[in-house]
Each structure stands twice: as C-alpha cells, then as structure tokens.
Amino acid sequence: MAATTGVAWVARYRFSVPDVEMLFLLAVSVAAAFLGKRPSLLAAALGVGCYDFFFVPPPFTFDIGDARYLLTFAMLFAAGVVVSSLTSGLRQERQAALRREERALAQYGLASALASASSAAAVCQAAARFAASAFGGSAAVLLRGEAGTLELAAAEGGAPSPELTSWARSALASGRPAGAADGLLCLPLLAGLEPVGVLGVAPWAEDGSDAERTPLVEALAQQVASALLRVRLGEEARQAERRASAEEQRSALLSSVSHDLRTPLAAITGAATALRGDPALPPAQRAELLETVCEEAERMERLVANLLDMTRLQGGAAPRREWVPLEEVLGAALARVERLLGDRPVKVEGAAALVHADPVLLGQLFLNLLENAAKYTPPGTPLTIRCRQADEATEVEVADRGPGFGQAEPERLFERFSRGSHPGVGGAGLGLAIARAIAEVHGGTLTAQRGDPGAVFRLTLPGAGAPPEVPPEREAV
C-alpha cells in the first residue's frame, strides 16, 4: 500500500494524473486476488486509509472535505471484499479438487493393491497403509483368529493403543462402529454378515472435521472386507485342490508300490521256506538262499524308507533349517554310499560354504543323487561335486561321466517310478523324485542336464543371508 501511495503521489503531483483512486483499486484487487481473505480485507482498509490521508483534500488529514469521497471509499473497499471472496472461493474449490484427486488416486492404488494381494496379511497391510495416509494418523487392521480372538494383522503409524484394541473387540462383537468415546474409530469388517475383523483409525473426531470422511472410511472397510473374503475363498479352493491331488497321488503311489513290495517279499518267502524245508541242502545253495534273503530284505527296506520320505515330504513337513557346511552334509552322504560307489573316484570342490538347510533332508538328497550315479555308471567312472556360493543362491552340481540318460527327456527322470533302461538295476524309481521334492521344500530347484559326457544334476538353493557369527578366537596353542 505504501508503494501504491508513493506511485500515486508521483502520478498526482508530478504528472497531474486526475484519478489516482484507480491505482488504489488496482492494488486492492491484486492483493485480494493473491492473498488470503483477511490480508486482502486489511489491504482494502489500508488502501482506503492511505487514499484518504494523502489524496483526499484536505491532504495529510483523515478529514473528508467532500462527501462524494465516501462513495469512492465504499467502492474501493467493496471491490476488495468482492474480489477476495471470489478468489478465496476459487482457491478453496481448487484445493478440494486436489484433495479429491489425491484421494481418488490413493483409492485407486488401494484397490489395485487389494486386488493383487494374495494373502490376508497383504490385504491388511495395504489397508492399514492407506488408512494411515488418508486419515493422517495411525491405523491398524485386526483379524478374528481361530478361537474368536482378535489378532493384530497390520499396523501403520505405530502399534495400536490398548484402547483401540479393546474398542475393536466390542466392534467385532456388536458388528457396529465403536470407539468414539476415546476419539478413535473401530469399524467392523463384514464379509457378508459375518464380522471377520476390525479396521481401527486413530485419532478420529466423530462429529468434527472427520465427519466428511465417514463415507470414505466406510467404503474402505467394505473394500477390505471383500478383499479378505476373496483371499479366504481362494485359499480354501487351493487347499481343497491340494487335498484332492495329494489323495490322488497317494493312491497312485500305493498301487504302483504294492508290486515293488511284493517282488522282494516273494523272494524272501521262497528262499526262507526252501531253507526250512530241506535241511540237507548243499552248503553252496544254502549260502545263496541266505544271501537272497538278506539282499531282498535290504531292497524292501530301501523302498519302505523311500516311501516314508515321499509321504513325509508330500505331507508338507517343514524342513528344520540349520546353518551347516555343505562339506559335512556331503561327507555324511558319501560315507553312506561308500560301499555302493566302490572304486569310483569322487572329487569335491568348494564345499566349505555354509547353507541354511535341513541337514538330514539335504543329506538324503545327496545320497539319492550319489546312489543314482552309482547305479547308472560303470565302476571306476569319476564323479565330480562342485559347489558355488553367491549372495542370491548356492549351487551344487553332481556330475558323472557315465553313459548319461540317452534319448530320455531329463525332466522324466524326476517322475516317480521312472527307472533307467539298464537291465538288472533295482529300486522303485523314487530316489530322484524324492531328491527334487527335498530341493523344493527348501525353496530350491533340482534339474538334470546332459554332461559331456555323462549326466549333471544341479541343485540350486536360494540364499538365506549371511550365516550367524561365530565368536572369534585368537591365539593358537
């Protein structure tokens, strides 16, 4: 206003511009357009004051010589008020539009996060994050557990207060919003008519500034509830499918295995009854029959052990992971196949690496690979076991230099009851299927490739971070 007064002063007394009030009108309008409501009213009042003091005769007083100037004052002030209220209305609308857009974007983000969430935990996480950012406080999603208790599924902006938890319980029980008394909101999540959980938001003013957000938060609760319902139905369908396929696999396993069990049993029964029936058998024949009994019993034992492993792995038993050097696991497996491997030289490279795996299961995996190599390669063929460790994965390759698997598709090796085409090789063809199942329960893979020559089995285990520290030790004795 001081600048305007200066400019007007110069204009009036240097250039004899007659209507300096127009300059004040301009200044008041500009102030109203760019400043808030109060500053623009102040500017209008100041403008009127300055105009009066400096320009209205008699100058340098607030006295008004001519009553017509009162009209000018009124118009100046009115212009300021009108322009400022117009622009501030516009500004508010623009801000509201921006907010709406932001919210719509966030809601769109939430909708896509909910749609792609494949677990209840992911749904709750997305909902809590959205609620906390949309309502500018903390938010939590609690789900009803097996026993009807509420369990925290996700929280954003700090852990939920005990009040929130207790209001959530009553919201779940009543199926109605609760928590107003403590300045927070607990909305039940209704999947159909059944409350499956609670969305909690804090702080929340029931009839204050948060009232306009009520439809939004209700829509959110509805969205989350239906996402949870979708996830649950999907999980149930998958479980039913798994059960059905496990059942199918079990019966397939049983029917094909009964044959494999009967063959050694027949041999044992035959040999034992022959021994009992004829005490006068020549010693050589007796020895042969006894050998049959022992060998066939061993074969049965291997088969039963394999079957047990298979059912246990299919039953979804979780591996008991420990940090263990590959060398130790490989060493134990090698010791068990020592007799079977005979004179095949075995070279082990890079096995000092630690892996996070179930040592017993992993040992079984290597044992099966080594047994396989012993069965299908001629005596004396060398075996190489190479281990490589990187951050993201550990790789172990078991390579033989035997005949390989010919024309067979490598993947077929891992099917149950698939046996190599070599005559006289026993076993139920479960070894590689079990090895692969073990790799899979560890989140890894087991594949077969053609070597040059021979076969290469490659185990890949996902990385599990850095192994835990072992306290250091200094001096040597």
Partner 1 sequence: MTAEPLLLLVEDELPVRRFLRAALGSRGYRLVEAGTLREAEQLATSHNPDLVVLDLQLPDGDGVELLTRLRAWSARPVLVLSARGREEDKVRALDAGADDYLTKPFGAEELLARIRAALRRAARAPGEQPGPVLEVGQLRIDQARHEVQLGGRDVKVTPIEFKLLLLLARNAGKVLTHRQILVEVWGPGQASQTHYVRVYMAELRRKLEEDPARPRLLLTEPGVGYRMADRPPGESQGG
| Chain positions contacting partner 1, by CB under 8 A | 294, 297, 301, 305, 308-309, 312, 322-325, 327-332, 334-335, 338, 346, 348, 351-352, 354, 359-360, 363, 385, 467-468, 470-471, 473-477
Tell me whether residue 404 or residue 427 sits nearer to partner 1 (CB atom).
Answer: 427
Q: In whole angstroms, what is the distance from residue 447 CA to residue 461 CA?
A: 12
DSSP per position, 161-173: PHHHHHHHHHHHH
Q: In whole angstroms, what is the distance from residue 290 CA to residue 347 CA?
A: 36
Backbone dihedral angles phi then psi of residue 200, each to the nearest 5 degrees: -115, 135
Residues 399 and 451 sit within 8 Å (Cβ to Cβ)? yes
Tell me whether residue 205 or residue 304 sits nearer to partner 1 (CB atom).
Answer: 304
Tell me whether residue 35 or residue 261 sits nearer to partner 1 (CB atom).
Answer: 261
Q: In whole angstroms, what is the distance from residue 2 CA to residue 439 CA?
A: 83
Least distance from partner 1 to the Cβ atom of residue 148, Å: 34
Q: In whole angstroms, what is the distance from residue 221 CA to residue 65 CA?
A: 69
Least distance from partner 1 to the Cβ atom of residue 322, Å: 5
Q: In whole angstroms, what is the distance from residue 322 CA to residue 437 CA?
A: 18
Tell me whether residue 140 or residue 370 sits nearer to partner 1 (CB atom).
Answer: 370
Query: What letter represents residue 213's amino acid?
Result: R
Least distance from partner 1 to the Cβ atom of residue 200, Å: 38
Tell me whether residue 136 or residue 467 sits nearer to partner 1 (CB atom).
Answer: 467
- Sort strands 393-400 and 445-450 into parallel, antiparallel or unpaired: unpaired
CA angle, residues 302, 303, 306, in degrees to nearest 5: 85
Least distance from partner 1 to the Cβ atom of residue 257, Å: 17
Least distance from partner 1 to the Cβ atom of residue 326, Å: 9
Least distance from partner 1 to the Cβ atom of residue 101, Å: 54
Q: In whole angstroms, what is the distance from residue 369 CA to residue 436 CA?
A: 10
Least distance from partner 1 to the Cβ atom of residue 143, Å: 32
Least distance from partner 1 to the Cβ atom of residue 323, Å: 4
Tell me whether residue 331 or residue 410 sits nearer to partner 1 (CB atom).
Answer: 331
Tell me whether residue 14 or residue 339 sits nearer to partner 1 (CB atom).
Answer: 339
- Classify residue 317 by its DSSP letter: P
Task: Look at residue 346 and give its three-state secondary structure.
Answer: strand
Structure tokens at 394: 């550990």
Backbone dihedral angles phi then psi of residue 150, each to the nearest 5 degrees: -95, 135
Residues 32 and 43 sit within 8 Å (Cβ to Cβ)? yes
* Contacts of 288 by beta carbon, 8 Å cutoff, 6+ apart: none
Tell me whether residue 1 or residue 271 sits nearer to partner 1 (CB atom).
Answer: 271
Residues 337 and 367 sit within 8 Å (Cβ to Cβ)? yes
- Sort strands 138-144 and 150-156 into parallel, antiparallel or unpaired: antiparallel
Q: In whole angstroms, what is the distance from residue 204 CA to residue 214 CA?
A: 10
Tell me whether residue 178 or residue 310 sits nearer to partner 1 (CB atom).
Answer: 310
CA angle, residues 165, 169, 170, in degrees to nearest 5: 120
Tell me whether residue 43 or residue 385 sits nearer to partner 1 (CB atom).
Answer: 385
Structure tokens at 461: 């285990």
Tell me whether residue 179 or residue 359 sits nearer to partner 1 (CB atom).
Answer: 359
Least distance from partner 1 to the Cβ atom of residue 301, Å: 6
The CB density around residue 148, as the number of other CB atoms within 10 Å, is: 8
Least distance from partner 1 to the Cβ atom of residue 329, Å: 8
Least distance from partner 1 to the Cβ atom of residue 97, Å: 60
